[in-house]
Chains A and B, each alone.
Chain A
């Protein structure tokens, strides 16, 4: 199963519900284009809901890092929501858990953007 994404707007935050595999090839390309597309529309507060991500590899992690730095450079913020145990463990092992702002509760995640960006 390749990656799928559904986009919804909650207040000033664009929530992206991601499912499937974020791996080298199709999954990573789709995520990269999705982030680029949202930035081009001026959507700079992005919350990636990873609850239904079944698989992520080192390239997928790299894509998350690329998205994080790309959004930050545009003056926005990219945060992560509802990590599966697999994704959580990978971010811990790679020391990236402390880099990303990770949330378990969507409402709290949404409100955290106001504090971060003063939106």
Chain B
């Protein structure tokens, strides 16, 4: 059956930046923050040069196909296959200096920038209630980059060369480098004494596992997201899956100019967000094939997190709840990535294989997977991080379960800093964490919604309990302004008689994830970068 062209639009893989829909997912990535010089003409010349460096979706996908083929043929990681890729994004103020119609961007959060949203995101504040940006490495008022460039590579030296080349070009056109930071997959730090597995973040958990499938076909006729599940009845009103645990989301949820996801009808194409001369445009016409980029520099205090987990496990005193299980329940996954719902009591790498790591739900969808219905949150806490930000099946406060597809984002982050060594206490803690990056079509309705409505809220998205305050905050990443105090319930019986509260109230350090910078940007299409912004 020919796919519905509205629902599965042809994606312009020569024009869309590769990191948006393809995901660089390289082991080494450098973020460069540039400030424009006073000469707009020079700035535009640099952007023309930059446009030639930005990697299109086609190149990323071609590489990944080749890599997958080589991996299949040899059974080993094809180390000879290397690439350096580049992505770019702009602040609202930068776009205003480069174009005459940037004011037609209506995304308020993008226009105002991350610092103005910081309070709503629950970031740490000073005692007088005024935002505290003193720890921000980049993105505080007065230090907002005009251009954020992401350079990704398989090889550290090749990456460094590319970064140097971009910096030279920028400098030659009068731009200032105000930020530069390189993140590495933690396996980069493995040595004779330590092994750090690939794809994990600093708390030790495998990260970036669950990404939505993206609807759309490529010019070569293939789906962008390959389907292992055959499409069934188009009139079915439940989400359609590319593979188990990977629902398909309309491309317009991540890239402007394509069909949007409808919250009540997951197999229907919503109209693309209007652009340019269309009625009620949300952005100029040249914003098509572009996406909004959220960057959050999140410092992780590993010792504080594990002190919190150890203290609470000890205080609870259940023989079946050690610190490892408590941490896993708060995350919703074990360090291997194995879902708690699949293996409640201990980590089990067999549940972290490609076919199982994402094959789970929380409620009735589990029945077909031979997993228990955990609608009450007795196995995986309702407040567990991965359940908070992706509730999967079951209705939420925003309506049908399918509505949760509209708040999905494409995560592209990478850790920064050396891994924590429990045998080498640090005082103060070293600077390590996550360079969180996400692409979406609407910052408020996607990224900020997840933060303010669900992660930083004890009550939402569901409350299958009698606790009027809800079942708790996202204790892993959630923020809570002013008191910083957060708590969450672990449930050991559906009737609530064995609900146990976990809290940071008595923790010496109350935040183990601390925002230390970032920004809201727009990642334009490559043609816009060359022909509208550059020149």
A and B co-occur in one complex: no
